[in-house]
Amino acid sequence: MHAPHTNCAVCVVRDRALCASLDDEELKALSNIGRHRRLSRGETLIWVGESGTVCANVVSGVLQMTTATSDGREQIVGLLFPGDFVGQPFATEASLTFAALTDAELCVYPRTAFVSLLSEHGALERALFHRTMDALDEARSRMLTLGRRSAGEKVAGLLVELSERLPHDADDTGADSFELPLSRAQIADVLGLTIETVSRQMTKLRDAGAIAIARRRRIAILDLDRLMERADIPHA
């Protein structure tokens, strides 16, 4: 579903998205080519191999980036949260598939118009460059971390990351909680584990008092310090 773009000044991810560093003129130019789009859980925004695709900023919800393995399986290679940039503006064909893990809302820009805008506005081009470099650094760090971490550290680390990136509310006990956007199978896919191992490690975190599992996908963080210790993440 597409809708005309609304005032960027009231956007909930204004200070976190690509447009955060833009001045009023640049923001207006970006807004002029943008449209709001809502995706339902499971709906695809960009298919691998598709040409003439779009770019977008995630306003709400979570998207997954996937690629196909040599044996035809789909592999999740990244997650995109509110404020993140979606798409490959300089690729004539998409090398990844971008799909909604949850109901999501995006600001969508036609790729060709977005690339033209980059050439006209240096601040936007620099902002995209910095975000791309940050994403590459994050991907390298994730690959290194996943290669060295134990199964328990991987699961705990993902829960810490999700707790930092997803909206929270209080559960029935008043504990800080959030909805998992991933199934156990998808968590296993992201972390390179089996579903059984993911379930075992979640149970261990629950038994250690770090989390509570209110429902299958509802996680309450009971002790963030303990969860970070289980993830081997240094405290700030």
Sequence-distant (6+) residues with CB within 8 A of 59 are 11, 12, 13, 36, 82, 104, 105, 106, 107
Q: What is the CATH number of the domain that holds 190?
A: 1.10.10.10
Sequence-distant (6+) residues with CB within 8 A of 35 are 2, 3, 4, 5, 107, 108, 109
CB 212 within 8 A of CB 175: yes
Residue 216 structural domain: 149-230
Bridge partners, residue 78, by sequence: 65
Mean pLDDT value of segment 112-119: 88
Q: Domain check: are 98 and 182 in the same one?
A: no
State residue 1's pLDDT score. Answer: 47
Q: What is the mean pLDDT of the chain?
A: 85
Q: What is the pLDDT of residues 52-105, one digit of tens each?
A: 789 999 999 999 999 887 787 888 888 999 989 898 888 888 888 999 999 999
Q: What is the pLDDT of residues 15-27, one digit of tens each?
A: 777 777 788 888 8
Does 132 have pLDDT greater than 90? no
Domain endpoint, select from 123, 145, 167: 145
Q: Domain check: are 135 and 171 in the same one?
A: no
- Separation of alpha carbons 201 and 152, rounded Å: 6
Res. 145 pLDDT band, cuts 50 70 90: low
Both tokens assigned to 221: 């963080």
Q: What is the CATH number of the domain that holds 22?
A: 2.60.120.10
